[in-house]
Chains A and B, each alone.
Chain A
Amino acid sequence: MNVVRAEWTKARTLSSTLWLLAGLVALTVGVGALAAGTLHVRDCAEPANCGEDFAKLSLSGLWLSQVVAAVLGVLALGNEYGTRMITVTVAAVPGRLRVLAGKAGVVLALVAIPAVPGVVAAFALARRIFAHSGFALPDAVTGASLRAAGGTVLYLGLIALLALGVTAVVRDTAGSLSVVLLLLYATPALTLVVSDPTWHERLQKYSPLTAGMAIQATTNLDAQPIGPWRGLGILAAWTAAGLIAGAVSFVVRDA
């Protein structure tokens, strides 16, 4: 418990943490509202739902807020390597797995707790915008929309943990962040130019970003490259791999 409290104190007293959390909420709500604003009933062939996934559109702020989650995960450990604080940390708590577990718990809480009101606010604001644009909306709370909202929070947490694991391997803020961004963005970018259908589908199914973000889909699930929970499962597998590699590297190597 002392480990968690120590990690919590470190995170809390960094001035950047508050800014990043504010940014995470602002991006989730703001980008969702912007995306919702691009849709108007007069542009639709079928006014009922325009063939659009309202929940997914409302939560599209995730495209940007996940970068904030990644930065938080990287800084939680990267800052300690930058300032050599890490030597003090592992001297105080020789059980290194406990240090990493403590950090993981704090990072997860830091991301997930503000993400919940952020997601709720994004939903509520986007609904008002849709109503203003002339749409008759279905029920706000359905199984699918709860899955999309809850899944978005889980996604942010998994990205932050993946970033933490990568940082434990790379041990450098800038380097870790580039590796995480490479993992997130490079494979989906390939899908823009890869036209071979088999490869296209594989890339979408197994890259952490496209697979994980499948959790946001609420309509037309058959047309998605991967099911919502299976997709999030793929991301969870990436996170687990990152954390295991990080833990091994953290335990085996000298700080």
Chain B
Amino acid sequence: MSFRHLLRAEWTKLRSVNRWLLALAAAAVFTVAFSVLAASGGSTDRQPDVAVGPDGKPVADDFHFVHRALTGDGSIVVRVTDQQNSHPQAMAGVMIKNGVTRGASYASIAVTPAGSVRMMADFRDVEKHAGTAPRWLRLTRTGAHVATYDSTDGSTWREIGAVGLSALPATAEIGMYVSSPGEIRLERSAGSTSVGAESTTGRATFADVRIDGSAASSWTSDDLIQPGRAEKDGPPVGGTAGGAGTFTLTGTGDIGVNEPPDDTVQIGLFGTLAGLLVLVPLGVVFVTSEYRRGMIGTTFAAAPARVPVLAAKAVVMAGVTFTIGLAAALAAFFVTQPILRDHGFTPPMFPTPSLAEPRVLRAVIGAAVFLTLLTLLGLGAGAVMRRGAPAIATVITLTLVPMFVGSVVPAAAARTLMLITPAGGFAMQRAKPATDWLVEPWSMIGPWAGLAVLGTYAVVALTAGGWLMRRRDV
């Protein structure tokens, strides 16, 4: 039989069993219904009064700033003589900013203990080069144009980067700043998980401070800090000491895009968990039922080459589950997003996701691929074991139990668990980057890592199944 005929034979087997068609429909319904359930239980306590950057995205904008008003063109030059290693990404540098409102437009250049000279503008990195304190830093404003330089001796300068900032008014604040992000503290132990941040305090000394241009004569010192944070973490720690060209600043907080790790797309696709509980058994029995009814003898008599038979089964099953999975994922996405908005997942902290964004589209397709690969893993396990119950129990246990175990064991163990079990495949449904901040363990690995893990399982199971089918009698 040609492969095309094999495909048609397997397709006919699949569509002529009423129970299986019912299972396919149930998988889609369960996926959507369970997603709705997950979305309806959602709630968020992420700060509603978060700072909003010039592009409307939520940002962190917490640091200590010593500044003077500069009208028109001008520049600032400083020598960062030393910087405390409070956090690898702590910053000590110079900045020009549209006032001292959090989220306002700015451009900056700073050194970090991690060993980089980093230029930022409007909460995004512009350029990064290697270098640490002690180091000279210079920032020049010409109209809407801001350029930054660094130097090791104060005479030969290297340009780091340049940007145009249209939102910068004629009079802007120019000066020095120190920031230091919080340290993630994640405690997982048997039975409980808590995630929190411990604030760190950066300290740096600036010497030979010089401002050129028509600047105000006196320095002002400000702590930019999230409302409510001061009470939670104790009094603001920022401060300035010195004068006459030398300053020591202490500051806490971080500057940059501040998207919460909570992924509304993923919550809205969580129903695949219920879908897989139907599709995995279907993948298994698509093979094992032939063994139980002796049908496999007929199949092999008609098509003596056994590996193509398994391949045809896999192709038919993959096509059907991917189609069903994609339809269910799309439906789940569109149904759950309004529900999640009603439960407090609102802009600007949670911008409304759109299928036009590549990462959202990737997550929705990822959900369908996730279901497809798990079904194929079930099909392969069925071919290996030839018995339905143990194959179903093995695949589902391998997929679900690591989820629970991973949410209570220490973080490193949880990450390893996600990288060696099919449970890692859940990461394919995330639209946001990997994070250590969430309880669900699969958020610790990225979507491609999840695809690699689950894909490997499916390929190994199918290969082993094909090999055993060839070796065994029936």
Give A72's nearest chain B residue, CB to CB: B389
Given A178-B278, A189-B400, also A53-B190 (CB < 8 A): yes
B440 touches A182 (CB 8 A): no
Residue in B41, B278, B401, B407 whose Cβ sees the most chain A Cβ within 10 Å: B41
A68 touches B393 (CB 8 A): yes
Q: Indicate which residue in A35, A38, A56, A185 contacts B400 across the interface (CB closer than 8 Å).
A: A185
Whether a CB of chain A sits under 8 angstroms from the CB of B403 is: yes
Within 8 A of A (CB), among B349-402: 387-390, 392-393, 396-397, 400-401
List residues of chain A with CB within 8 A of the CB of B409: 38
A56 touches B440 (CB 8 A): no
A63 touches B190 (CB 8 A): no
Q: Indicate which residue in B41, B292, B410, B413 contacts A200 across the interface (CB closer than 8 Å).
A: B41
* Smallest CB separation, A37 vs chain B (Å): 11
Chain A residues touching B, majority SS: helix
Interface bin, chain B: 35 or more
* Smallest CB separation, A204 vs chain B (Å): 11
List residues of chain B with CB within 8 A of the CB of A188: 404
- Which are the 6 A-B pairs with shortest beta-carbon distances? A194-B41, A199-B41, A196-B43, A178-B281, A174-B281, A174-B285
B37 touches A190 (CB 8 A): yes
* Smallest CB separation, A77 vs chain B (Å): 12
Chain A residues close to B by CB (< 8 Å):
16, 35, 38, 51-53, 56-57, 60, 63-64, 67-68, 70-71, 74-75, 78, 82, 172-175, 177-178, 181-182, 185-186, 188-190, 192-197, 199-200, 203, 223
Given A53-B191, A182-B274, A188-B404, also A193-B267 (CB < 8 A): yes
A63 touches B274 (CB 8 A): no
A192 touches B191 (CB 8 A): no
List residues of chain B with CB within 8 A of the CB of A173: 388-389
List residues of chain B with CB within 8 A of the CB of A68: 393
Whether a CB of chain A sits under 8 angstroms from the CB of B142 is: no
Whether a CB of chain A sits under 8 angstroms from the CB of B457 is: no
Within 8 A of A (CB), among B1-41: 19, 23, 34, 37-38, 40-41
A56 touches B267 (CB 8 A): no
Q: Tell me the bound Cα distance from A67 to B395 in angstroms.
A: 11
A63 touches B273 (CB 8 A): no
List, sorted by A's number, 20 A–B pairs whose CB atoms are closer than 8 Å: A16-B387, A52-B189, A52-B190, A57-B190, A67-B397, A74-B389, A172-B19, A173-B389, A174-B392, A177-B388, A177-B389, A178-B281, A186-B274, A188-B404, A190-B270, A192-B440, A195-B44, A196-B42, A196-B43, A200-B41
Within 8 A of A (CB), among B254-293: 266-267, 270, 273-274, 277-278, 280-282, 284-285, 288, 292
List residues of chain B with CB within 8 A of the CB of A70: 393
Given A174-B281, A195-B44, also A190-B396 (CB < 8 A): no
Given A51-B189, A182-B277, A193-B440, also A174-B388 (CB < 8 A): yes
List residues of chain A with CB within 8 A of the CB of B280: 178
Give B284's nearest chain A residue, CB to CB: A174
Give B407's nearest chain A residue, CB to CB: A192
List residues of chain B with CB within 8 A of the CB of A177: 281, 388-389, 392-393
Q: Tell me the bound Cα distance from A192 to B439 in angstroms.
A: 7
List residues of chain B with CB within 8 A of the CB of A194: 38, 41-42
Chain B residues touching A, majority SS: helix
Q: Tell me the bound Cα distance from A196 to B45 in angstroms.
A: 10
List residues of chain A with CB within 8 A of the CB of B388: 173-174, 177
Q: Tell me the bound Cα distance from A182 to B201 in angstroms.
A: 48
Whether a CB of chain A sits under 8 angstroms from the CB of B405 is: yes
Q: Tell me the bound Cα distance from A188 to B396 in angstroms.
A: 14
B190 touches A71 (CB 8 A): no
* Smallest CB separation, B170 vs chain A (Å): 46
Residue in A38, A52, A82, A173 whose Cβ sees the most chain B Cβ within 10 Å: A173
List residues of chain B with CB within 8 A of the CB of A199: 40-41
B396 touches A185 (CB 8 A): yes
A56 touches B403 (CB 8 A): no
* Smallest CB separation, A4 vs chain B (Å): 23
List residues of chain A with CB within 8 A of the CB of B397: 64, 67
List residues of chain B with CB within 8 A of the CB of A195: 41-44
List residues of chain A with CB within 8 A of the CB of B439: 192
Q: Tell me the bound Cα distance from A78 to B43 in angstroms.
A: 42
Given A52-B190, A174-B285, A175-B281, also A193-B393 (CB < 8 A): no
* Smallest CB separation, A42 vs chain B (Å): 13
* Smallest CB separation, B269 vs chain A (Å): 10
B404 touches A193 (CB 8 A): no
* Smallest CB separation, A14 vs chain B (Å): 11
Q: Indicate which residue in A35, A57, A78 contacts B389 across the interface (CB closer than 8 Å).
A: A78
A sample of 16 more A-B contacts (CB under 8 A), given A178-B280, A192-B407, is A60-B190, A75-B389, A78-B389, A174-B284, A174-B389, A175-B19, A175-B281, A190-B38, A190-B270, A193-B41, A193-B267, A193-B270, A194-B41, A196-B343, A199-B41, A203-B41
Q: Tell me the bound Cα distance from A232 to B4 in angstroms.
A: 54
* Smallest CB separation, A181 vs chain B (Å): 5
Q: Indicate which residue in B43, B44, B396, B407 contacts A181 across the interface (CB closer than 8 Å).
A: B396
List residues of chain B with CB within 8 A of the CB of A53: 190-191
Q: Tell me the bound Cα distance from A38 to B41 in angstroms.
A: 33
* Smallest CB separation, A249 vs chain B (Å): 17
Q: Tell me the bound Cα distance from A173 to B288 in angstroms.
A: 11
Q: Tell me the bound Cα distance from A60 to B409 in angstroms.
A: 12
Within 8 A of A (CB), among B394-434: 396-397, 400-401, 403-405, 407, 409-410, 413
Q: Tell me the bound Cα distance from A195 to B403 in angstroms.
A: 16
List residues of chain B with CB within 8 A of the CB of A189: 270, 273, 400, 403-404
B393 touches A190 (CB 8 A): no
List residues of chain B with CB within 8 A of the CB of A192: 403-404, 407, 439-440
Given A38-B413, A82-B292, A192-B407, also A71-B390 (CB < 8 A): yes
Q: Indicate which residue in B34, B266, B389 contacts A186 across the interface (CB closer than 8 Å).
A: B34
* Smallest CB separation, B409 vs chain A (Å): 7
